[in-house]
Amino acid sequence: MADLIRDELREVGFTEVIAVLKDGSAPRSGAGAAEAGPQTAASTSIMKHFTASERSQASELASAASHGESLRAASAAGVKGKARGGARATTARPSVAQAEGPLYYPNLGLVLGVVDQAGLAALRNDSAVDAVLGTPTISLIRPTNASAARLTAQHTWGIEAMNVPRLWSQGLTGKGVLVAHLDTGADGKHPALRAAIAHFAEFDALGRQVQPAPAPFDSDDHGTHTAGTIAGRPVRGRHIGVAPGASLASAVVIEGGRVIARILGGMDWAIGNGARIISMSLGLRGFVNDFLRLTQILRVRGVLPVMAVGNEGPGTSRSPGNYVEALSVGAHDRRWSVANFSSSQRFTRRKDPVVPDLVGPGVDVISAKPRSGYQLMSGTSMATPHVAGLAALLMEAKPEAAIDDIERAIFKSCEVKSGMIVERVNRGAPDAVRALSLL
């Protein structure tokens, strides 16, 4: 995204960048996760390369907050200022100076901040910096349809399609595995999720973690649906969750506000809590390599990134779901046909040239709805949590297995069903029983 950095510097005079520290090294300023603030002479030289501008998004947001506006990032559903289903959480209003400070993510080994032309040149020449990345805006991969639904079957069709109940019969539920769920949050009062959320965080419009942590809530309805598919507990004998014994580290990171800061904050927080899988249904349309280092860092930290490929159809994909390092997921329906909306694309790279890596159940999927009840949604966002849940089952079965082993077993379990086109589904649809045997 060199063009973005260059164009913003030329037209605006500053730009926001991510500095990747060599060897995951950290500034010596003592800053904690996603902290901002004034730096001292004792801090590492990298911090002095960042600048401040009253016209930056962070400064504008802080200025609005100083005039009484909420720092909650309003979602498309219009939730503002109050945690749905939970107590209102608060953070001290930052001054504009505090908002402009760089944010440090110790578990990722990254610093996010604003630079001018001189600062950018200094960062690129600093021996502590491995790379400088741009920050294009990521958005939620929204479902193609949503409607109220009743849960009448013992298992959702997606759970059956992946052969998951046969793993349950062997005692595997994902117990002991923590899955990071970075989305619009999740309603912790829903009966399927009351016992599923082990950790919850909200990152405000500036990208700072809200303190004290609010009760688990959903700023939209997308997150409750995806969380339910990963680890929803059975309610009256009916199942929506692939890994009903797994635990969730769920965070509100999208949409609105300083999105990159919010997502980085969620990733850093999830790693700090010991998550082994990250499920994300968000991305930037097209191939943009600025977030490639993030997926590489996640894998080095032992975290499997499971990401939706997008809902824009053939010949399209979203970053970071289209990276080699991501386990990218497309969508099929209950008749094993690839969904018309499911993105797919071929690249010129030699390794893993076709995305998605596989397709999962993603059409007319029933899962949890905020406050109570269930709803039906379609999208690669619905397929992704199915695969994240499958990974959790396999991790419980073989806790010593590396994430590469888990991913390889899922890939080799896939089958291209009759009528599927490889260019649209790549390896095809996964099978839980075969995946376990391959481990």
Positions annotated as catalytic residues are 183, 222, 381
Q: For 370, which DSSP code?
A: S
Length of the chain: 439
Strand segments, DSSP code E, in 92-238 are 103-105, 110-115, 129-133, 139-140, 145-149, 178-183, 197-202
What percent helix, strand, coil does the chain show, rounded to 5?
A: 30, 25, 50
Q: How many CA atoms lie within 13 A of 101 on its CB side?
A: 17
- Which amino acid type is present at position 407? E
Cis bond before residue 214 (omega within 30° of 0): no
**CB atoms near residue 235 (< 10 Å):** 18
Structure tokens, 243: 């890994």
φ and ψ at residue 306, rounded to 5 degrees? -105, 115
Helix (H) or strand (E) holding 185: none
What is residue 127's three-state secondary structure?
coil
Strand bridging mode 365-368 / 374-378: antiparallel
| C-alpha to C-alpha distance for 42 and 30, rounded to whole angstroms | 10
CA nearest neighbour of 205 among 65, 32, 17: 65
